[in-house]
Amino acid sequence: MCQKQHGAAFATYASFPKSNLIYVSGQHLLSSYNSSSSINRKFCGHCGSSIEWGGSHEYPEWVSIAIATLDTAYRPKEIIDIYSESEVCWLNYRE
């Protein structure tokens, strides 16, 4: 789903507890849809940019934000690859 959502080979998200997420402006512009029975995705209702997703059964109190939408630098402490079994065949970044 992330590849189709972003229209790219992979999506980069930062995940953290929902209680740590504070929108300082523009929250009224967010639209949302359920991409599956448990996942709710939010996007900008003005430009269509993917903003966040959350609601998984495994981590119901967590949210994931699309890193490319951040205005400030983000330096993650850890990077993990998930869903690598569905990676695109034409991307050879591990070679």
Domain ranges of the chain: 2-86
The predicted pLDDT at position 35 comes to 87
The predicted pLDDT at position 14 comes to 87
The predicted pLDDT at position 45 comes to 94
C-alpha to C-alpha distance for 39 and 60, rounded to whole angstroms: 9
Task: Report yes or no on whether pTM surpasses 0.85.
Answer: no
The β-bridge partners of 32 are: 42
The predicted pLDDT at position 65 comes to 92
The predicted pLDDT at position 82 comes to 67
Strands (E) across the chain are located at 13-17, 30-34, 40-44, 50-54, 62-66
Query: Residue 26: pLDDT above 70?
Result: yes
The token duo for 25 is 């402006």
CATH architecture of 2-86: Beta Complex (2.170)
C-alpha to C-alpha distance for 89 and 57, rounded to whole angstroms: 29
The stretch 65-88 carries a mean pLDDT of 78
5 Cα distance to chain centroid: 9
Beta-carbon contacts of 79 under 8 Å, excluding residues fewer than 6 positions away, are: none
